[in-house]
Structures are given as C-alpha cells and as structure tokens.
Amino acid sequence: MSNISDMIEEFLLDTLGEAEHLDISRNELANYFNVSPSQINYVLSTRFNFERGYIIESKRGGGGYVTIMRADDDMPEWINGIISKLNDGIDYRSACYILDEVEHKGVIDEDKKELLKIAVSQNALSNPFKLENKLRAQILRRILMKIKHKA
C-alpha cells in the first residue's frame, strides 16, 4: 500500500501527463487528499525538484497556486544546473534521482545507471572521514561533464 506522498505524486504525474506544465492550487490539492498544505510542499520539494527533472514556481498572491514544469530538455543546460549544485556534496538518494533522470532522458541505459549507482553507493565510498557526500559529488560531476560534452 502506498503512503500519502506516493499517492499525491502519482496523482500529479497522471494529471501532468505529457503536458509541459501543470498549474495547481496547493490548498485545493491538500483538501482533496485531506492533508495539510505542508504535506503538499513536502511532495513538491522532494518529488518534483530539479534533480528529478522538474521546476516548481510558486505564484505569490495567486491563491496558493504552483506551477509544475518539466525542466528544459536541453541536456547541457540541465547538466550545468545539476553540476552547480554539487559543490557541497550530494547524498545517495539525490544522486540516484539524477541518474534516474539521465536514464529517462535516454542518455544511458538501465544497466549503466545501475552500475553508476553502485559506484556512488555508501558501500563504495565508505571511509573513516565521512567524506562520502563530497566523493559522490565529485564522481557525479565528472560523469555529468562527460555526458554534457557528448550531448
């Protein structure tokens, strides 16, 4: 059984479909699922972020409406945006979201994606100095720079 965040994500993905963007009221969505607006914010920030190929725009003063947009399909621009966020390190879950999106965009196949996930996993990067996130970011940055030059 899915949790409420999974159900909200699935609903938004189904509603978005193949469209480039979706305008939706945060409050209406919260009422529909009988949750607080903060639950909607959580789903938007964790499931519809740049790493996963989305951009969220809040419309201030617009009654709590947000726009969910697919990130530009311009691969080099998308990769530059990701690379710029890797300076402070990256956790494994976020790295996996990025690799999932790279596969979704057709740059790598599923086998390569799974190998790259192993390469940036905690087991592969474990060390006594707790530098896993920095090392993971360095590895992912090099991979993305190589992909960018091929795109």
Dihedral angle sign, alpha carbons of residues 117, 122, 126, 131: positive
> What are the structural domains of the chain?
4-70 (3.30.56.130), 75-150 (1.10.1200)
Residues in a beta bridge with 65: 25
Please give the pLDDT value at position 33.
94
CA distance to 29, 55, 78, 98, 118, per residue, from 92 (Å): 30, 21, 19, 10, 10
The alpha carbon of residue 96 and the mean position of all alpha carbons in its chain are separated, in whole angstroms, by: 9
pLDDT one-digit tens code per residue, 102-139: 888 788 899 999 999 999 988 888 777 678 888 888 89
Residues in a beta bridge with 58: 66
Report residues of the chain scoring pLDDT below 70. Answer: 1-2, 60-63, 72-75, 129, 151
Q: What is the pTM of this model?
A: 0.60
